Structure 1
């Protein structure tokens, strides 16, 4: 099936999960009308970004309207200001998670690109200001803080730092404000030397490194991206899990690696192998797709027929980004 058609049909499915108040029908078993327990604001924001990314290609008004409702709910239910009106944060059940701010920035900036409502960009900048205030002496970020007490949690996510760095570059792309790039560069200088995100096969770090490369060529950063990409290719353990989202995330990461310009000198064999793996992954991902455009979890267990908005998000993004890149190959 044509990749843009897959992405669009699944985005329509995701848009139809946005209820009148902007809350997603977050998680359910395929064929059941009953919504399962749980909600995660990070996935809410990430799903908006995927919706609006497809809108960029299709200009389908259903996707834009769903994204606008979902952003309204995001801001109404989760936006707070931490100790200072300049530091906006996404707070869920008294917890501020770095990834929540990062993915909310992606959603807000995406919508701003279409509506040009300065309010959205201002909020994104305030969310980014909070993230910069959360930098640590080790050169990374605080990943989780309790809103009321201010206490820092020991929790660390494998994804939050990559999400935050990508969000900073995404914001810089639109605002042309180099403070966001400078902050990302300072953090990446340390992370590259630490092999950060390599063992985790972080697709978010690859999103960031590809986006940064459009601003400046830094050989150490390209090498960092190559190490993550090679780890994905050399350690395909995720395939044995037989779940849709781990495959989709690696597809997203490899596509970000392939978007790096040929002039940066990435080995041609690596490009060839990454392209082959992407095609194989997408074929696997289609086995999780259902007639209504949804993607199930998979995994050959009791949750295999479960649908959740992030399963849609990552599969949508991988097919969309493949469609954009395929014309170059």
Structure 2
């Protein structure tokens, strides 16, 4: 096994070396400029089994070849003692170096969005102690002092990392106030194939994708939904999420997100038809029904059902009832069953009871068990989510009372200019409502809900996942407008910009996906690979972070890529067998 591991590593290293050193000439001018008449070449080799955080070896030489050999000699010695089932290999060749003071660097780090400093850093000019960007951010080398609120080096984290993942005996004391050296790299990664990696400010270290086609999107959806399936325990409860730098589970829970995550899993199942995913969906629904739902039948009142968030002060949230209906309605449609219709009607009655019949507005949070009002308003998303849930239930049952609740709600939304919140749930609901009520006012509301947000969405640096959902629901609604020959409503609406925003978010949100080359720098890569994360929230990977990405990508898959079905069917089947 040890010999097999070493041979696999050397095989992959040879392929990576050929690709990387073929581009070494691109670095020559900059290395001359920095090091002088006798330039040096700096390479990093990162190696992981996929189970543990990558070990990184730095090689420096007078030529790209000698720099590679320097790093490889260290890596070979390390790999001789390994017996892994898998080898992930990433190689980085430094191509640009820029000096700045340590104080200046820390100042920039402190004023930049958390974990969005995307360059490597050497603590000395000869690269005797240098770290890739991924090492710095994934291992929390920089923290904020709790007493002074100052950004500072976390020397304990750095020294622990040096000993364990750099095989180094070097121990750093307090870091002196001297020049440090930022750098960028040319990078390649190999797991089962060779990938060239980006080195831009927002996508650094993530594989380049020539085209997001149906095969790739299928893979993303399948991996992300498989990740969610793995989070469902035997009781049907999710592992809520991780802070992956040190493999810490997120300790709290939220029944609303439990239900909405099920909804996204069913969306994914509609595409992948994974038996394992279906089993996890059933387990999670069982937990929702057994642990999350209570029934209320007061005197002179019809029976209702509510989702209770036991771990959050026993709250009954409008959005939780809505999420449960959405999950069960989607299940009813995809699995072609009516087993949950009665329960959905009871949950919908709970929502209807939270609506002011005269104004159409909703109460957002009740107390359990007395059902008194705790908060009239909490968050804008609950309103759109509730309306969307009821229109989806109407699609299943065709009961006009649910459509009436939605129309009352929309009268309230339009009166109070809810479009200014640019809520993706409202876009979902508007698109669904106009299937049954294709009224100009509803379409206009839906267009306004997205129109003034397009520039923000295009320019936004974060991978906020609901943006793609908002865009896709709007795109579907515009198709509905066009098919009904109501295109006069589109006067002044920039459909080209909408399409540009969709294309941008489709690619940009991959910067929040745990590809292996990203996950390998965290403590337990196998746990998080295939999930989505929020970089500026300490790389948090929570079930709702994953669900919203799945929903957006599933929507794009159906809307834009249906015509590719025949061409990729065989590839999808092959991929399904591989995993």
Output the TM-score relative to the length of structure 2: 0.53
Equivalent residue, structure 1, for 2:350: 130
Matches within 5 A, 1:77-92: 77-84=291-298, 86-92=303-309
CA contact (8 A) 1:15 1:62 kept: yes
1:328–1:111 Cα change, 3 Å: closer
Alignment partners' CA distance in 2, 1:32 and 1:15: 22
Query: After the TM superposition, which of the residue ranges 268-277 and 55-64 deviates more from structure 2?
Result: 268-277
Q: In structure 2, how many angstroms separate the alpha carbons of the residues matched to 1:171 and 1:153?
A: 26
Q: 1:189 to 1:10 in 2, by over 3 A?
A: same
Task: Structure 1: give runs of 5+ residues left out of the alignment.
Answer: none
Q: Over aligned residue pairs, what C-alpha RMSD do you find?
A: 2.0
Q: Please tell me whether residue 267 in structure 1 is matched to residue 487 in structure 2.
A: no
Shift of 1:18: 1.0
* 1:311 is the counterpart of 2:535: no
**2:232, 2:433 → 1: CA distance?**
32
Residue 323 in 1 paired to residue 557 in 2?
yes
Mapped to 2, the partners of 1:290 and 1:6 lie a distance apart of 10
Task: Tell me the residue number matched to 1:100.
Answer: 320
Of 382, 402, 421 in structure 2, the residue corresponding to residue 180 of structure 1 is 402
**Structure 1 or 2: more strand by fraction:** 2
Partner of 1:111: 331
Deviation at 1:60, TM superposition (A): 1.3
Question: What secondary structure sits across from 1:91 in the alignment?
Answer: strand
Trace 1:194-273 onto structure 2 (pairs within 5 A). Answer: 194-196=416-418, 198-236=419-457, 239-240=460-461, 242=462, 244=463, 246=464, 248-260=465-477, 261=480, 262=482, 263=484, 264-265=486-487, 266-267=489-490, 270-273=494-497
Alignment partner of 1:276 is 2:500:
yes
Q: C-alpha deviations, 1:222-272, integer Å up to 9, x for none?
A: 0000111112214449824x2x3x3x2111011001001123425275222
Q: List alignment gaps of at least 5 residues for structure 2.
A: 1-211, 516-528, 564-579
Q: C-alpha separation between the residues in 2 aligned to 1:32 and 1:173?
A: 45
CA distance in 2, matches of 1:236, 1:52: 27
Q: Which residues in structure 2 correspond to 1:36-185 (within 5 Å)?
A: 36-84=250-298, 86-93=303-310, 94-136=314-356, 137-154=358-375, 155-185=377-407
**Could you say which structure has the greater relative contact order, defined with CA pairs below 8 angstroms and 6 or more residues apart?**
1
> Which one has the largest radius of gyration?
2
Question: In 1, are the aligned partners of 2:306 and 2:321 still within 8 Å (CA)?
Answer: yes
Contact 1:141 1:161 in 2 (8 A): yes
Q: 1:270-304 deviations in whole A, cap 9, x for unaligned?
A: 222111101111211101101321011112xxx33
CA contact (8 A) 1:49 1:110 kept: yes
Cα distance, 1:114 vs structure 2: 4.1
| Stretch of structure 1 that moved more, 181-190 or 313-322 | 181-190
**1:285-329 Cα deviation digits (max 9, x unpaired):** 101101321011112xxx332110001001111111111111489
Alignment partner of 2:256: what SS?
helix
* CA contact 1:140–1:187 (8 Å) conserved in 2: yes
Count of aligned pairs between the two proteins: 321
The one-character-per-residue Cα deviations of 1:13-53 (angstroms, maximum 9, x if unpaired) are 11111111111111112265542211111111111000001
Measured in 2, the distance between the counterparts of 1:115 and 1:251 equals 26
Aligned CA distance change for structure 1 residues 328 and 23 (closer, same or farther; 3 Å): closer
Distance 1:179 1:69 in 2: 31
